[in-house]
């Protein structure tokens, strides 16, 4: 995240880093509702405000309506002072007046007028784009849409995956505890721990430098085991970076096998290499390439791989809690482009698969066009394929993780 780059320039305490992170992520996550408050309280609509003033108002309003640990007077005074220090002195009285109106509204329980339309209510209350509110209701109905929207606004859990080649869950948990980090087991994740308490830079936590664990959401930990990979098998991870599932695969086969990690980003692939070195994993080979062209670029790979993981580029709508800005960056048009790319990648995998082999297709989105409908279209055009299994995980469900989809596809022997 960009905020980590900023943190690297300053010597901030753990408490200050946590506060700054909440202010930034919270203001971005709730941008729609914060804009609605500006529209309601100000004479000039939010989108016509000077951009810097708008962002500052977001931060001030977020503290007033969403945070308890910052006194509202401090939120108002600090925001106004920052405006003065950033060439907005002329508009500082405007910011002061609006924020004081917000404080009064918060104290009296005043609310923004609510739309009579359900999709607009969902967008307004949970600060999601209107198009996404419409889609959530269409996909899952009103009650489930509310649960998904609520989950998308919660601070996500920090889940770890223990490297079974370097440690055990019990030993890693004890080492973390000795370092002041409390954790719990994750149901359904045999190598998973979720952090209950503890802070600071994760890279300084016990076991990180020793390669004993990786940060990986519990839903993401569900994917690699679906391949049922065995030591010695030939495995392709076609869109590998940042490498969480690649390293998981290597751990599951006891670091014995031929795993190829392919990605179209050389920079991200290099980071994957560094992480696998930290984890002490040596069974992975790397190739910088467009996975959809592999049968042409690597003719010897035709019919070669027993297992293929295609963790496809997607809209990421299952990770909105973890990526607060994503809801404002992704659009229906971008999703259409991604659907075309996913289809191209799936078609590119088929020539590489050995008869009797398996493809696991996965995404971190909840959009059926990228998931079940994508696979339905792919299977319908290939008589040699059989859909063995598919499942959609939604945010807000009992498992408590990100929204993910996976399908297991078999190639007839």
Catalytic residues: 364
- Using CA atoms, how far residue 356 sits from 180, 226, 271, 413, in Å, is 48, 16, 33, 4
Dihedral of the CA atoms 409, 320, 132, 391 (nearest 10)?
20
Displacement of CA 331 from its chain's centroid (Å): 16
Cis preceding linkage at 242, omega within 30? yes
Tokens at 169, concatenated: 């869950």
Strand bridging mode 404-411 / 353-363 = antiparallel
Task: Tell me if 256 sits within 8 A of 231, measured CB to CB.
Answer: yes
Please check whether residue 285 is in contact with residue 259, taking contact to mean a CB–CB distance below 8 angstroms.
yes
| Contact criterion met (CB below 8 Å) for 235 and 308 | yes
For residue 212 the two structure tokens come to 């004993």
Looking up tokens 């804009």, which residue turns up?
Answer: 35
Residue 112 is given by DSSP the state P
* Cα–Cα dist 152/321, whole Å: 4
- How many angstroms separate the CA atoms of 226 and 359, rounded? 10
DSSP state of 289: S
CA distance 346 to 360: 10
CB 402 within 8 A of CB 322: yes
């Amino acid at each position: 995240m960009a905020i980590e780059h900023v943190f690297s320039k300053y010597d901030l305490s753990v408490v200050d880093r946590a506060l700054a992170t909440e202010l930034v992520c919270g203001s971005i996550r709730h941008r729609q509702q914060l804009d609605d408050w500006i529209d309601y309280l100000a004479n000039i609509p939010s989108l016509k405000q000077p951009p810097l003033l708008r962002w500052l108002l977001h931060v001030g309003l977020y503290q007033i309506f969403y945070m308890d640990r910052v006194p509202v007077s401090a939120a108002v005074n600090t925001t106004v002072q920052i405006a003065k220090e950033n060439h907005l002195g002329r508009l500082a009285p405007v910011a002061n007046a609006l924020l004081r109106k917000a404080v009064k509204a918060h104290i009296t329980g005043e609310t923004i007028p609510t739309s009579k339309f359900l999709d607009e209510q969902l967008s307004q209350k949970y600060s999601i784009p209107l198009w996404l509110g419409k889609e959530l209701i269409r996909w899952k109905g009103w009650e489930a849409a509310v649960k998904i929207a609520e989950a998308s606004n919660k601070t996500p859990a920090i889940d770890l995956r223990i490297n079974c080649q370097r440690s055990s869950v019990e030993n890693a948990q004890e080492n973390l505890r000795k370092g002041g980090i409390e954790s719990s087991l994750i149901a359904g994740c045999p190598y998973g721990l979720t952090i209950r308490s503890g802070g600071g830079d994760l890279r300084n936590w016990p076991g990180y430098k020793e390669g004993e664990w990786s940060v990986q959401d519990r839903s993401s930990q569900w994917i690699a085991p679906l391949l049922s990979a065995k030591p010695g098998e030939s495995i392709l991870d076609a869109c590998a970076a940042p490498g969480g599932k690649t390293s998981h695969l290597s751990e599951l086969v006891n670091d014995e096998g031929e795993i190829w990690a392919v990605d179209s980003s050389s920079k991200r692939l290099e980071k994957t290499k560094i992480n696998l070195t930290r984890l002490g994993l040596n069974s992975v080979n790397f190739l910088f390439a467009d996975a959809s062209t592999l049968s042409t670029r690597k003719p010897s790979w035709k019919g070669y791989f027993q297992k293929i993981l295609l963790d496809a580029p997607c809209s990421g709508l299952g990770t909105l809690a973890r990526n607060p800005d994503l809801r404002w960056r992704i659009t229906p048009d971008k999703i259409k482009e991604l659907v075309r790319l996913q289809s191209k990648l799936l078609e590119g995998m088929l020539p590489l698969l050995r008869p009797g082999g398996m493809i696991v297709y996965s995404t971190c989105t909840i959009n059926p066009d990228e998931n079940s409908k994508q696979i339905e279209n792919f299977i319908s055009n290939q008589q040699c394929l059989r859909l063995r299994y598919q499942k959609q995980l939604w945010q807000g469900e009992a498992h408590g993780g990100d929204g993910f989809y996976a399908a297991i596809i078999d190639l007839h022997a």
